[in-house]
Amino acid sequence: MGTAEPQVATTSTTTDAQSPVTDGFHLVIDALKLNGIDTIFGLPGIPITDFTRMAQAAGMRVISFRHEQSAGNAAAIAGFMTQKPGICLTVSAPGFLNGLTALANATTNCFPMILVSGSSEREIVDLQQGDYEEMDQLAVAKPLCKAAFRVLHAEDIGVGIARAIRAAVSGRPGGVYLDLPAKLFAQTMDAQAGRKSLVKVVDPAPRQIPAQDAVQRALELLKSAKRPLIVLGKGAAYAQADADLRALVEKTGIPYLPMSMAKGLLPDTHAQCAAAARSYVLAEADVVMLVGARLNWLLSHGKGKTWGGKDPKAWGGQKFIQIDISAQEMDSNVGIDAPLVGDIGSCVCALLAGLGSNWAKPPADWLRAVAERKDKNLAKMAEALAKDPTPMNFHSALNVVRDIIKVNPDAILVNEGANALDFTRSIVDMYKPRKRLDVGTWGVMGIGMGFSVAAAVVSGLPVIAIEGDSAFGFSGMEVETICRYHLPVCVVIFNNNGVYRGTDVNPSGGPDVAPTVFVKGARYDKLMEAFGGVGVHATTPAELRKAMEQAICSRKPTLINAVIDETAGTESGRITSLNPTSGKRNKSNS
Ligand SMILES: Cc1ncc(C[n+]2csc(CCOP(=O)(O)OP(=O)(O)O)c2C)c(N)n1
Ligand SMILES: [Mg+2]
């Protein structure tokens, strides 16, 4: 393929200020660098191969993946961690499409990223004359992202990149598509004019200050509560308003519930954390303040039995305060009594200022009732964690992970799977903000290795990826990427021989195994060894603990194949009820 690459102007480099001409390649690199973007997650090929080389030559970190979806997931989570748009770079049509799932997932999760894709000749694509990798990528991307732009002329690159950056991070963050046709890269222009055409984005995500009357309304409602609750979402984690948020929670004394990626905003061991009494507080609270958390399916749409409603669609009678940057989020599922629209940092700051010095703590009987439920459930959990069955189950394996995170609170935990996800979320306490990265709003499989690579690249800290064996398969080839860049990633595969469990049988009695079952006793550890990493086969908690400790200490790419009882999981983990049931009775489901 290399011989078919477009010819490029080689007289210019990004560092050569004297060069009379520049070109599209260099203008894109210069525009990104001007805006503080120093890393690209991508996969080379026509028409962007030379671009990746030039970006690397210009001092950018270019992390090359084995599949664009992983590069896209890496860009998305880098955006979440840094509040700067993560850049994913792909080739045209198929590469673009491979990246698109990550772009759509980023948009759904409000992660700022820019999918930059090379594309084919506009004239040929638009006449559908059958170009190499022909596709109207802009049209395909548009409904799946927050904004989509195409740049046709070199002199517009500065504005194009600026618009993409601002769209990704301002207001509610999300995915942005930037279409760069092959011809654009080779276009030349006067170097000085080129430099002048670049735009350094000023204040890309301007603060959005909430209105004072909205702040007062929220405070009054909160003050009137007998059984208040705060729910922290990943929007609150994204905001990086950690100290103020903690002050707000502690000054009000209100029990709080962290959503999955908000775990660790305050340590999960905090006295006010009500995670272990989740079903009790959701059903019983009379005023709920949502901070960067949406009332989507993850919170049962704010109604039904979870919220104390009489039937699955009934409102439970509680009042809601919602802090969100998007006014449109309000009333999405139930009426919001006190909408507080603004960026989370500014909203939390305004609430703190309005609390005054004599804010009354919630009624003692509410706090006592929450504490009782919590203690009871934590005692039950401790009992389950203390068991040491053979083979290991999720609890005995996660007891180890829990200890490891406790002594390594800076390590980043990536997590996907069904049971492997749900048990990890409830068992493994997090102690610091933005340390838990997982499947997010969609519950999407395939984020594991992309998130792990980005987390390690962005932070330099050790990463622990707890992966269902099915979940791992979606991005497993990226263990080569992890080895290639010598990243301190320890992948732990909870191997229960399949999707949810490994015990299903083919109802027809035919020779194929059931659709949820994998090769029994697979040795995923060998996959890591193939690329020079450390592979460990662990069948006991002691072996798992030793291998994880060594991985953290050595920072060597490590994959631990943790053998889990194949009967231990449940269908769909904690979300079994979302499976439709067949109305038709037949042999297999009667
Ligand atoms: C992209 C995508 N495809 C399919 C699914 C459906 N799905 C949900 S969890 C899961 C895998 C669960 O198995 P595993 O990762 O082994 O976890 P376990 O429950 O066995 O611990 C699948 C395929 C999904 N969520 N996302
Ligand atoms: Mg499994």
Cα–Cα distance, 150 to 116 (Å, whole number): 10
Cα–Cα distance, 491 to 548 (Å, whole number): 9
pLDDT confidence of residue 124: 94
* pLDDT > 90? residue 486: yes
Cα–Cα distance, 103 to 454 (Å, whole number): 15
The pTM score is 0.96
User: In this structure, which ligand is nearest to the CA of 444?
Assistant: 1
Q: Report how far ligand 2's centroid is from the alpha carbon of 77 (Å).
A: 24
Question: pLDDT, tens digit, for every residue of 500-520?
Answer: 999 999 999 999 999 999 999
Q: Report how far ligand 1's centroid is from the alpha carbon of 324 (Å).
A: 30
User: What pLDDT band is residue 572 in, cutting at 50, 70 and 90?
Assistant: confident
Q: Report how far ligand 2's centroid is from the alpha carbon of 556 (Å).
A: 25
Question: pLDDT, tens digit, for every residue of 28-69?
Answer: 999 999 999 999 999 999 999 999 999 999 999 999 999 999
pLDDT confidence of residue 468: 98
Cα–Cα distance, 561 to 363 (Å, whole number): 48
Arithmetic mean of pLDDT, 243-261: 98
Where do we find the tokens 């992966």?
467
Please work out whether the CB of residue 257 comes within 6 Å of at least one atom of ligand 1: no
**CA distances in angstroms from 416 to 368, 495, 499, 546, listed in the order given:** 34, 13, 12, 23
Best residue among 297, 438, 470 to mutate for probing ligand 1, ranked by most atoms within 8 Å of CB: 470
Q: Report how far ligand 1's centroid is from the alpha carbon of 419 (Å).
A: 9
User: What pLDDT band is residue 574 in, cutting at 50, 70 and 90?
Assistant: confident
Residue 508 burial (CB < 10 Å; 0-12/13-18/19+)?
A: exposed
User: What pLDDT band is residue 590 in, cutting at 50, 70 and 90?
Assistant: very low
Cα–Cα distance, 88 to 207 (Å, whole number): 26
Q: Report how far ligand 2's centroid is from the alpha carbon of 343 (Å).
A: 39
Best residue among 414, 424, 445 to mutate for probing ligand 1, ranked by most atoms within 8 Å of CB: 445
Question: pLDDT, tens digit, for every residue of 63-96?
Answer: 999 999 999 999 999 999 999 999 999 999 999 9
Average pLDDT of the residues of the chain: 95
Please work out whether the CB of residue 419 comes within 6 Å of at least one atom of ligand 1: yes
User: What pLDDT band is residue 1 in, cutting at 50, 70 and 90?
Assistant: very low
Assess contact for 192 and 59: CB atoms under 8 A.
Answer: no
* pLDDT > 90? residue 3: no
Indicate the Cα dihedral angle 199, 202, 208, 209, nearest 10°: -160
Arithmetic mean of pLDDT, 99-121: 98
* pLDDT > 70? residue 17: no
pLDDT confidence of residue 530: 98
pLDDT confidence of residue 518: 98
Six-digit token string for 162: 């600026």
Q: What is the DSSP string of 217-260?
A: HHHHHHHH-SSEEEEE-HHHHHTT-HHHHHHHHHHHT--EEE-G
pLDDT confidence of residue 484: 98
pLDDT confidence of residue 7: 44
Considering only CA atoms, which residue is closest to atom 13 of ligand 1? 499
Six-digit token string for 37: 């973007």
* pLDDT > 90? residue 458: yes
Which residue did the predictor score with more confidence, 298 or 587?
298
Q: What percent of the chain has pLDDT over 70?
A: 96
Q: Which residues fall within 8 angstroms of residue 297, CB to CB, at 6 or more apart?
A: 578
**CA distances in angstroms from 565 to 106, 458, 529, 555, 562, listed in the order given:** 34, 35, 24, 29, 10
Question: pLDDT, tens digit, for every residue of 184-206?
Answer: 999 999 999 999 999 999 999 99
Q: Report how far ligand 1's centroid is from the alpha carbon of 423 (Å).
A: 14
Considering only CA atoms, which residue is closest to atom 4 of ligand 1? 445
